[in-house]
Chains A and B, each alone.
Chain A
Amino acid sequence: MLIAVGSLALMGLALGAVLGTAARYLAVAENPVESQLKEMLPGSQCGQCGFVGCAQAAAALAAGTAPVTLCPPGGRALAAALAAKLGIKVDLSAVSDAGPQVAEVAEEICIGCCRCIKACPTDAVVGAAKQIHNVIREACTGCGACIDRCPTEAMTLAPIPVSLQHWVWPKPVLAPVGAALREA
C-alpha cells in the first residue's frame, strides 16, 4: 500500500514537473483565437474601428476590450459571426447596416489629385495626376478609406444597387405566436 501511494505520488510529481516546464517553454505566443478573428475581419486596414489595422482590432476582440460591433464595413453579418465565435450574446438591432457599399467618384468635381489612389487598400481606384479618377467596383470593399482624403468631396459611398441575380426573397413576416390565441 505504501509502495502504491508512493509510486503514484512520485509519478504525479514527475509528470507535473514535465507539464510545468512544457507550459513555460512551449507556450503559444499568440492567442489562437486572435488569428482566427483576424481571418474573419475584412483585412482592408481601413481604421474605421479606431485601431491601426485589422490585426490590432482582432487582438482587442480576443482580449475582450473591444465590442464585436466595431467593424462598420463588416456590418451586422460580421458582428453576428464574431459574437458566435467569441460565444457572447449581442443585441444586433442597434448595429447600423447600410448593406454592401462601393465608392463612387463624382467626375465633375474630381481634380485628379491622386490622394485617394494612395489611400485605397485594394488598389480599386484608377487614375493619374490631373486625370479624372474612377473606382473599379469589383475591387472596392466599401471601407471608406478614400472618403476623407478627397479634398473636393468627390468621393462618396453608395449602396450597391440590387440586381435580379442578387435579389433575395424576403423572410415571411409571422404574426407573433399567441396573437391568434388571444383573439380566440
Chain B
Amino acid sequence: MGFLDRIFREPRWGVHPDDHKRPAADAPLRILPPPARLYLPLHQHVGGAARPVVLVGQKVLKGELLAAAQGNISAPIHAPVSGVVSAIGEVTAPHASGLSFAAITVESDFEGRWIDTDPVADPFALAPEEIARRTALAGVVGLGGATFPAAVKFALGKRLAVSTLIVNGGECEPYLSSDDRIMRDSADQVVDGARIVMHAIGAREALVGIEDNKPEAIAAMRIAAAAYPEVKICPVPARYPMGSDKQLIQTLTGKEVPADARAAEVGVLVHNVSTCAAVHKAIRLGQPLVERIVTINGGAVAHPGNIFAPLGTLVDELLAFTGLLAPPARLILGGPMMGTPLLHGKVPLVKGASGILAFSAQEAVIPEAGPCIRCGNCTRACPMGLLPLEMAARIRVGELDGAVDFMLSDCISCGCCAYVCPSHIPLVQYFSHAKGELAGRERAKLRSDAAKRLIDARVVRLEREAREKSAAAARRKAERAAAKAKAEAEAVNATAATTTAEGEPA
C-alpha cells in the first residue's frame, strides 16, 4: 500500500474512537462449562419466529431441532446441550425495552451427547441449492449482529448472479474482538466457510476485509488463504463504521450501494467471518449453530476476553465466569456504538450477540445534552452523507415527514453523529425514535385500510341480505297469492261440479 493509496483509500466519513480491544482480544479463548439451564428464544433472527416442535418433558440431544423455521425468512433453533425441555414460555428479551418473548428452556444433563450428524467430505461436489438447504437447516444466521438468515442470502446471491463475496472481518465497534479471535484461532474454518459460500452463490472471488488494527488476524488469515488465490485478504483502514456492509463494499470495490437497494444488486454479497465459520461447521461437520464466541469486556469485568459459550446462556452467568470488579453501571449487548442497553443480566445469549459490555460507573457517564450549535461535525462524520442536525431538529418538534425528506431511511444508526456532537445531543436516539414511529404509522395505515375493506364487505353483505330477504318475502307473497287463487279456482270448480251433479236428471 503506497503513500498515494493511503491518501485515496482513507475514508472521509466516520470516526475513529479509541478501540479498547486489548487486552481482551489478546486473551486466549476460554470455553464456558455448559450451565445447568439454557433459554433458547424462538426469535433470534430477522424474519418470522421459529415454531416449537418439542414438548415439555421431552429428552433432547445436543444439536437436536427445538423449533423449526416458519415462513420464507426464518431460522430454526437447536438444543445447545443434551438434556430435557423443562419449559416453553416467556423470558426477558435482550432488548432495550425489557419486554419478554417466547423461549424454550432446556435443562442440561451435563453429558453433551450430540445427535447423529451428517458430515460432508467434499462440499464442492454438492449442488449450491443443497448447500443453501443444509445451511438453512443448521439455523445459520448473520453473526455480525444483523442476524439475517444466511441461506436466504445465498439464494439471493445466486439469483442476482453475484460475482464477488465480501467476507466482513471489519469488526469496527470498539471493545469487541470475537471476529478477531475467530480469525486468529480458526482461520482455516473461516477460509473454508468462505469458499463454501462462494460455491453456494457462484462467486468467482472472495475479498476478506480486515481492519489494519488486527495484524495477528491478517497474518493468520493470509497463511490460511495462501493455497487459494481466489480468496484475497485485504487490510482496510481502521475507521468506524468500516464493518457496515455499505462502507466495506465501497472501500473494497469502489461501488456504492444505492439507497433502497441491496448489496447483491451491485454484484456483491457480504458475509461476516463468524458466519463463514458457522457455514463451515454446518456443512463439513453437519453441526447446527448452537454455540458462539462472545466478547466480555468493559471496565467492570475482572478478566475480559472471549468466551466460547452455548446459546441461551444467561448474561449474568457469563459475567460470573469472567468475574466482576464492581456491579456494572451499564450492560450493553453488542458494541458501545450500536449495541442494545440491557436492563439486567437475566437475559439469554442469542445468535447475534457478538459481545457483552459491562461498564464501570466511570465509563457509563452520559453527559447532559445542550443546544445544537450548528457546527456541522455530525455532517462530516456521517458515513451515509446525511445531515443529522437537520433531521434531529425536525424530529424534536415532531415533524417526522420533514426528517424523511432528509433521507432518514438511509440512516444506518451507526452513532457517528452522536459520538462527535460537542453538545452531546443524542442524535441516533432521535432517529431510532422516528424510525419506530414511522413504522408504527405504516402499520396503522395498513390496519385502517384493512378495516375499510372489512367495512365495505359488510355493507355489501347487509345489502345482499336485505335483497334476499325482500326477494324471499316477495316469493312467499306470490306463493300465497297463487295458493289462494288455486284454492278459489278449486272452490269454483267444486261448486260447478256440485251444480252440474245436482242439475243432472236423477
Which A residues form the contact surface with B (CB < 8 A)?
42-45, 77, 100, 121-124, 138-139, 141, 162-164, 166-172, 174-175, 177, 180
Contact = CB atoms under 8 A, between A and B. Distances in A.
A172 B97 contact: no
A171 B458 contact: no
Contacts of B432: 169
A122 B426 contact: no
A115 to B, nearest CB: 16
Given A174-B396, A180-B370, 5 more contacts: A44-B451, A44-B455, A121-B458, A138-B450, A166-B440
Interface stretch (B69-77, B288-296, B441-449): B441-449
B202 to A, nearest CB: 34
8 contacts: A123-B458, A167-B95, A169-B436, A171-B395, A174-B396, A175-B369, A180-B370, A180-B371
B444 A164 contact: no
B454 A122 contact: yes
Nearest to B430: A172
A180 B43 CA distance: 44
B113 interface: no
A164 B101 contact: yes
B97 A43 contact: no
A167 B97 CA distance: 7
Contact of A123 (B370, B440, B441, B454): B454
Given A121-B455, A122-B458, A172-B426, A177 B371 contact: yes
B484 interface: no
Nearest to B97: A167
B397 to A, nearest CB: 11
Nearest to B431: A169
A41 to B, nearest CB: 9
Interface in B398-443: 425-426, 429-430, 432-433, 436-437, 439-441, 443
Interface residues on B, range: 35 or more
A172 B429 contact: yes
B449 to A, nearest CB: 10
B218 interface: no
B99 interface: yes
Max count, chain B CB within 10 A of own CB: residue among A43, A44, A164, A169: A169
B448 A141 contact: yes
Nearest to A168: B436
Given A42-B451, A122-B451, A141-B451, A172 B433 contact: yes
Contacts of A180: 368, 370-371
A16 B438 CA distance: 49
Given A164-B101, A172-B426, A139 B93 contact: no
A42 B395 CA distance: 26
B361 interface: no
B467 interface: no
A45 B437 contact: no
A102 B395 CA distance: 29
A168 B434 CA distance: 8
Given A123-B457, A123-B458, A180-B370, A168 B451 contact: no
Contacts of B43: 164
B396 A43 contact: no
B13 to A, nearest CB: 24
Contacts, number: 78
B430 A171 contact: yes
Contacts of A139: 450-451, 454
Interface in B358-392: 368-371
Given A174-B396, A175-B368, A169 B96 contact: yes
A91 B455 CA distance: 31
A168 B429 CA distance: 10
Residue with the greatest number of chain A CB neighbours at <10 A, chosen from B439, B447, B457: B447
Contacts of A42: 448, 451
Nearest to B428: A169
B159 interface: no
Nearest 10 CB-CB pairings of A with B: A168-B436, A122-B454, A169-B432, A167-B97, A169-B433, A172-B426, A141-B451, A177-B371, A171-B433, A172-B429
B444 A100 contact: yes
Contacts of B101: 164
A168 B436 CA distance: 5
A122 B444 CA distance: 16
A42 B101 CA distance: 31
Contacts of B458: 121-123
B464 interface: no
A101 to B, nearest CB: 12
A121 B439 CA distance: 26
Contacts of B429: 169, 171-172
A68 B206 CA distance: 59
Interface string B264-287: 000000000000000000000000
B452 interface: yes
A138 to B, nearest CB: 8
Contact of B452 (A43, A166, A169): A43
Contacts of A167: 95, 97, 99, 436
A122 to B, nearest CB: 4
Nearest to A136: B454
B398 to A, nearest CB: 8
B455 A43 contact: yes
Nearest to B451: A141
B372 to A, nearest CB: 9
Contacts of B439: 168
A156 to B, nearest CB: 20
Contacts of A175: 368-370
Nearest to B449: A43
Given A163-B99, A174-B369, A174-B396, A168 B454 contact: no
Contacts of B448: 42-43, 141
A174 B447 CA distance: 33
The residue among A138, A163, A172, A177 with the most chain B CB atoms within 10 A of its own CB is A172
